Amino acid sequence: MPARTGKQYLDNVKSLHPEIYLNGRRIAHVTEEPVFAGPLRTIAEQYDIQLDERYAGVCTYVSPTGDRVSRSFQPCRSRDDLIAKRRHFKLRADHTFGMMGRSPDFMNAFVLGWHTNAPVFGELDERFGENARRYYEHVRDNDLFLTHVLINPAIDRSKTSSQQEEPFLHLGKVRETAEGIVVRGAKMLSTMAPFAEELVVVPFGGIAPGDDDYAVVFAIPIDTPGLKFICREPVAPAGRTEFDHPLSSRFEEMDCIAVFDDVLVPWDRVVVDGRPGSRDLVNRVLGNDPSVLVVNGARSLASLELMCGIAVRVADATGIDGFLHVQEKLGDLISRLETLRTLFYGAEALAAPLPDGTWVPYLPGMMAFLMQTAPTHRRMVEVIQILAAGNFFYAPSGADFANEELRPFLDRFVRGRPGISAEERVRLFKLAWDVAGDGFGQRLMQYVNYYSGDPVRLTAGLYLGADKREINQVVDRALAGSEAGLDIPLSPEVLRMAPPPPPTRPLTGIYPAKSQPSS
């Protein structure tokens, strides 16, 4: 099947019956739940974009089956492939202004890695490598929307999975049957679960010695019996209007706890089955494709571009942009944004192939880019708050604007500097509030800080994995003093990517062993 339309996606979601709970009630039909209407419409639009005649050439490519499928599934075999994929990822991120981290591209890029890493998964059992490859093809050829769970519930982080108070608080294998493996326990968070068609399960963060039972990797339909998702409280309750909540009314990704109440995973969906040796394998390979970094980067950049723009427009709307400290703050945001843009796009100029032929952007630069996006996001939120001050709360609702008696007062007293009407000003501050004040914006900031793991341990991992030869040589030369003479290395004409890490072990794919409770 070629790339799907939004309607095809929605029709399939309608035919599924996942066990989703929201505010204590079981959701009978996901597509009829008002809280889910905005995000479902947005995800459907993500599918429509790829077939829109303006974008189809960017968003699709011809797969080995002869169908035009989503570009996100394409293996990168050249720099041109990288650029083509980045344009696709950035387009779909720009559609949501980077407000949705787990839109379809994220997991599409993830499972592309199952195709590349099939030989590694096949080390435990040939069938598992084949399962991984076939699953990637299944998702690509049916253009499915996936969610995933990586992290065990934070019940007691000082203990390993088998040391928890009960054996299956963390998700693990209970037994095997002729049909497959039976798994029990929970995973902490599954973003987008109510809207997804499939669930991918991969342990992340390091499995401790003796915990092979908990090293299970598999993918199952979202409505597999025994699988339950319990939603957090919505940050955008039903009934929010686009006037009052331009972002949260459209882009709320729901997050859920995933409970596995003795779920049977059929053998053809098992990629790692928890047998002895599984721990070593999952600690060595996360299994995602490196293009996940580009998906994350495109999302980050799209949101930072919006936030920087909001800060500039907020300052303009109330005539504070002439003050020196405001200009300094806006100049700082622009310089941060331009630095990140240069890293994101520049990493392509320094791209190189990994040993398996997969082209990747300059990885140390991409990792540095991603590490800097969270502090930049936080600073942008802070500056928007400083510049907007009380203006957030001096913004009547769309219903007030519709009230003919009130309207003349609003037009008079809620307007901005000359040339900025009351409606324009209020809409702008509501946009700013969604991203910098509302629960929606707070959830996004928490996502930005933690979406790929604990930033403390990830940054420590970057230090541990960094190639430090060059900086050590500089220090040695300085220590040698004048004895070094004029032996100064010339900077390269063309910077080549440092020897890339093996494709099966992304730099921050696992936490440093020293930060594990078991060590």
Ligand X SMILES: Cc1cc2nc3c(=O)[nH]c(=O)nc-3n(C[C@H](O)[C@H](O)[C@H](O)COP(=O)(O)OP(=O)(O)OC[C@H]3O[C@@H](n4cnc5c(N)ncnc54)[C@H](O)[C@@H]3O)c2cc1C
Neighbours of 91 (CB within 10 A): 21
Our measurement of the distance from residue 370's CA atom to the centroid of its chain's CA atoms, rounded to an integer in Å, reads 11
Q: How far is CA 74 from CA 136, 152, 353, 516, in A?
A: 11, 31, 15, 35
Give how many residues touch ligand X by CB under 6 A: 23
- Asked if 394 interacts with ligand X (CB under 6 A), we say no
Contacting ligand X (CB under 6 A), which of 148, 228, 427, 430? 148
- Asked if 189 interacts with ligand X (CB under 6 A), we say yes
Question: Taking contact as CB under 6 A, which single stretch among the options 182-190, 219-227, 235-243, 307-315 is the one that binds ligand X?
Answer: 182-190
Give whichever of 90 and 187 is closer to ligand X, judged by the CB atom: 187
Q: List the structure tokens of 257.
A: 């706890």
Give whichever of 221 and 500 is closer to ligand X, judged by the CB atom: 221
Q: Tell me the closest approach of the beta carbon of residue 190 to ligand X, in angstroms.
A: 5
Please, which residues have CB within 8 angstroms of residue 65's CB and are 6 or more apart in sequence? 141
Contact 81, 73 (CB under 8 A): no
- Asked if 149 interacts with ligand X (CB under 6 A), we say yes
Question: Taking contact as CB under 6 A, which single stretch among the options 2-10, 398-406, 442-450, 461-469 is the one that binds ligand X?
Answer: 442-450
Contacting ligand X (CB under 6 A), which of 150, 230, 464, 497? 150
- Subset of 204-243 contacting ligand X (CB under 6 A): none
The label of the residue with tokens 């800060």 reads 311
- Subset of 447-486 contacting ligand X (CB under 6 A): 447, 450-451, 453-454, 456-457
Question: Taking contact as CB under 6 A, which single stretch among the options 24-32, 122-130, 189-197, 308-316 is the one that binds ligand X?
Answer: 189-197
How far apart (Å, rounded) are the C-alpha atoms in residues 94 and 155? 37
Q: 326: annotated binding-site residue?
A: no
Please, which residues have CB within 8 angstroms of residue 378's CB and are 6 or more apart in sequence? 445, 448, 449
Neighbours of 484 (CB within 10 A): 12
Contacting ligand X (CB under 6 A), which of 157, 232, 378, 468? 157
Buried b (16+ CB within 10 A) or exposed e, 425-439: bbbbbbbbbbbbbbe
> Nearest CA to 350 among 334, 368, 375?
368
How far apart (Å, rounded) are the C-alpha atoms in residues 329 and 320? 12
Q: Tell me the closest approach of the beta carbon of residue 28 to ligand X, in angstroms.
A: 24
Q: Tell me the closest approach of the beta carbon of residue 227 to ligand X, in angstroms.
A: 15
Q: Tell me the closest approach of the beta carbon of residue 193 to ligand X, in angstroms.
A: 8
Give whichever of 76 and 304 is closer to ligand X, judged by the CB atom: 304
> Nearest CA to 200 among 221, 215, 183?
221
- Asked if 190 interacts with ligand X (CB under 6 A), we say yes
Q: 295: annotated binding-site residue?
A: no
> Nearest CA to 498 among 473, 472, 465, 459?
465
Q: 174: annotated binding-site residue?
A: no
Give whichever of 18 and 396 is closer to ligand X, judged by the CB atom: 18
Q: Tell me the closest approach of the beta carbon of residue 378 to ligand X, in angstroms.
A: 14
How far apart (Å, rounded) are the C-alpha atoms in residues 403 and 406? 5
How far apart (Å, rounded) are the C-alpha atoms in residues 69 and 118? 21
Task: Give the x/- contact pattern for ligand X in 77-116, rule: CB under 6 A.
Answer: -------------------------x--------------
Q: Tell me the closest approach of the beta carbon of residue 515 to ligand X, in angstroms.
A: 4
Q: List the structure tokens of 206.
A: 């390091």
Give whichever of 110 and 128 is closer to ligand X, judged by the CB atom: 110
Q: Write out the residues near ligand X by the rule CB under 6 A.
A: 102, 148-151, 154, 157, 188-191, 255, 443, 446-447, 450-451, 453-454, 456-457, 515, 517
Known binding-site residue numbers for FAD: 148-150, 191, 454-457
